[in-house]
Structures are given as C-alpha cells and as structure tokens.
Amino acid sequence: MTVKMFQSSEQTSNVIAMDRFRTDKRAHALRQIEAYWTVLRSDGDLPYRSQIDPRGLENVLEHTFILERIAPGIARFRIAGSHLVRLSGMEVRGMPMTCLFAAGARTTFSCALETCFDSPAIMMLDIEAETGIGRPNLEGEIVLLPLKSDLGETNRVLGGMITRGPIGRTARRFNITHVTDRLVYGTAKEASAPAVQSFAEDAAPFDPCPSHLRLIKTDS
C-alpha cells in the first residue's frame, strides 16, 4: 500500500473541480457542501459561520459537520450529521474530530486542520477504516472548508464526510491515505502577500508536518 501525505494544487477556490470526487451518490454530498460554501464567498473572502443556514444543506445534512478550533491542531464538533454518529457509535458533538481517527492518523489530521485554518486552504482527505471482526472494508473522503467566526478569526470549518461500504457492528476508526490542499485565493490573508509573476508550473508536494511524516511507505 502506498501512502502519500500532502499534495498541493494550484486551482483557485472559485472553480470546483468536479472530477476530484467519485461520481456516486455519496460523493455528490461533498460537491454540494463545497458548492454551498463557494456561493457564500460573494466578496471573495471566507464565509462566516453565521452565514451557514441548514436549509441550504438540507439534502446532505447527514454528511455535514461544523468544527471549532480549540487549540493548535485540535477542533471539536459543534454540529455533526447522523452519518458521523453512526460511524462513531455515539454522539460526537463537543468531541474533537480526532476521535474518528486511528492513533497513527491523528497527527496527519492535525496538520491538515492547521493548513485549512492558516493558509487558508480547502483540504481533501482520503480515508480508510481499520478492519477486523465486525469491521468490514470501508473507505471514504472528507472535505474541510475554512470559515470565520463572528470575530473575524479563521477558526471554524464547514466539512463533509462520506464513506463507501458497510459500517459494521462496532465503532469505526480511520487512517488517512492521502491529503490534498487547495489554497483559497482572494482572502484578506492571501491578498496581503505581494503578488509574484511566474510561469505556471506543476505544484510541488506540500508538507507542513514534521519531516518524519514525509516518508512514503510501500508494502510489496
């Protein structure tokens, strides 16, 4: 198995790359969540948490969540759809999102979360559940979309999570197999940096995590 941690994309956030998601009914939920977030960026800056109206996401609420940053690399659920409750086997509101991940994946998720807030960037995570008795194969995707609080701080996330396969009889914990970040252009933070003119080139791999996480492991 090959595990790649971070990969950067040069796409602007105003263009939703539909081929980034698999064309099935569940993946449509992630497209709809990102499209809703994009519409709220009417002035080009990040949307505010107060702009999120559940009626705009009523068809995908079970896959939707909102996070609040409480410490570097840690964010807790303020709202969590029913699909996340089924995956975890319990109510997750008020809990850190790392509760959904295996121990070895939590640092990677924390790095992705900080990139989402600090860049800011749209984060896409490919995930795969641990398997065993009562835990069949289960894979999926997560999207993290940065939001501002009422005070103007980038410390909220509108997110979506989908999975493919039976959940099984026990709570599921996920590993992260791939992470992609896509910078959000046009925000106040991005606009404050000087523009650089250059020819377009392939994006270099992006890794905000400690160097030991840059290893790519392949099991033959």
Burial of 71 by CB count in 10 Å (0-12 exposed, 13-18 middle, 19+ buried)?
exposed
Domain range list for the chain: 22-185
Q: Among residues of the chain, what percentage have pLDDT more than 70?
A: 73
Q: Are 198 and 10 in contact (CB under 8 A)?
A: no
Burial of 14 by CB count in 10 Å (0-12 exposed, 13-18 middle, 19+ buried)?
exposed
Express each pLDDT in 71-121 by its tens digit: 999 999 999 999 999 999 999 999 999 999 999 999 999 999 999 999 999
φ/ψ of 144, rounded to 5, equals: -120, 125
Min mean pLDDT across 46-50, 173-177, 194-198 is at 194-198
| pTM score | 0.78
Q: Superfamily for 22-185?
A: PAS domain (3.30.450.20)
